[in-house]
């Protein structure tokens, strides 16, 4: 993987220098943190995708072009349209992060058929369409440097698909990831999952949809300080940036021999409570 300078994680100009990226769930705190992380390490362009995305709701960057793209990418046509746009504009595609999952209702008794379909679409349809259509685009080579900021050649096939979900509700997405390992053999593209635990997303109970149909993670304030210290190994909620750093690792050549993995980012909660917090 590191046979060319193009993808060396030790590049002086950034481990993701020149990469063209897609991030869904861009209006959510974790999605925004992932955008900022990719930009900080030299990405050339990031398509920030969400249904209600606006220019004012995405992180600012002086060197990375961040493009608001009003779509959740849960349909095949939307996915293909975005891939075509990226290839027409940049001639390449490198990183695809699906960070648009929903927490879902707290119990099966509270779940309607519409809820189930919405959660399934958010958790697994977006990763499925990315798995089906992004790898051929990621395999395209670029012999001449483009005429856009942070442009660089792409002289070998490379790509990373990253699916971000919660420990409790991301099993459908994890199934796509595990099935994708065999599908991606010989493509140079890797696929991995990040299962996040209690993440402080900066909202309180008054702003929380208790049915979980508009949020990706429960607010950390659902648990008091004593509860966190009891059930979480690190005795605190995580931060969106801590999930984003793992996504940056999986996007870069530092994870060149990692595929099909489920990286649990929960401060040790699922290890301490394996019966109540399934992996």
User: Which CATH number is correct for 5-103+120-196+239-272, 1.10.20.140, 3.40.50.2300, 1.10.3720.10, 3.40.50.720?
Assistant: 3.40.50.720
pLDDT of residue 167: 61
CA angle 119, 122, 125 (to 5 degrees): 110
- Give Cα 132 distance to the centre of its chain: 16
Residues 6+ apart with CB under 8 A from 19: 38, 42, 43, 44, 94, 95, 251
Spans of all domains in the chain: 5-103+120-196+239-272
From the first residue on, what is the mean pLDDT of each consecutive set of 10 residues in the chain (279 residues)? Answer: 68 92 93 96 95 84 92 93 96 94 68 79 88 97 86 93 77 89 97 89 48 52 66 87 97 96 91 64
Question: What is the tens place of the pLDDT at every residue in 16-63?
Answer: 999 999 999 998 889 999 999 999 999 999 999 998 888 887 888 888
pLDDT of residue 41: 95
Nearest-angstrom CA–CA distance, 261 and 239: 21
Nearest-angstrom CA–CA distance, 28 and 103: 12
pTM of the model: 0.87
CA angle 93, 98, 104 (to 5 degrees): 170
Residues 6+ apart with CB under 8 A from 69: 26, 47, 48, 49, 50, 53, 82
| Residues 97/23, Cβ–Cβ less than 8 Å | yes
pLDDT of residue 205: 41
Structure tokens at 9: 């994680």
The greatest distance separating any two alpha carbons of the chain, rounded to the nearest whole angstrom, comes to 57
| Residues 99/24, Cβ–Cβ less than 8 Å | yes
- Give Cα 200 distance to the centre of its chain: 17
């Amino acid at each position: 993987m590191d046979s060319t300078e193009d993808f060396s994680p030790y590049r002086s100009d950034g481990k993701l220098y020149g990469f063209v990226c897609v991030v869904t769930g861009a209006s959510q705190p974790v999605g925004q943190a992932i955008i900022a992380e990719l930009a900080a390490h030299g990405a050339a362009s990031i398509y920030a995708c969400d249904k209600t995305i606006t220019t004012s709701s995405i992180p600012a960057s002086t060197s990375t072009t961040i493009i608001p793209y009003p779509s959740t990418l849960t349909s095949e046509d939307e996915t293909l349209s975005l891939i075509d746009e990226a290839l027409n504009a940049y001639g390449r595609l490198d990183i695809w992060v699906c960070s648009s999952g929903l927490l879902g209702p707290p119990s099966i008794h509270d779940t309607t058929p519409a809820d189930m379909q919405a959660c399934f679409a958010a958790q697994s349809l977006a990763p499925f369409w990315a798995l089906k259509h992004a790898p051929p685009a990621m395999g395209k080579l670029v012999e001449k440097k483009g005429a856009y900021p942070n442009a660089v050649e792409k002289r070998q096939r490379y790509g990373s698909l990253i699916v971000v979900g919660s420990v409790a509700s991301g099993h459908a997405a994890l199934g796509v990831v595990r099935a994708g390992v065999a599908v991606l053999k010989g493509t140079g593209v890797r696929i991995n999952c990040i299962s996040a635990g209690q993440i402080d997303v900066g909202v309180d109970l008054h702003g929380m949809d208790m049915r979980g149909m508009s949020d990706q993670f429960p607010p950390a304030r659902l648990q008091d300080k004593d509860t966190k210290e009891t059930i979480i190994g690190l005795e605190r909620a995580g931060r969106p940036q801590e999930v984003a750093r793992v996504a940056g690792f999986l996007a870069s050549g530092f994870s060149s021999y990692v595929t099909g993995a489920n990286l649990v980012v929960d401060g040790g909660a699922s290890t301490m409570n394996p019966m109540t917090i399934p992996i």
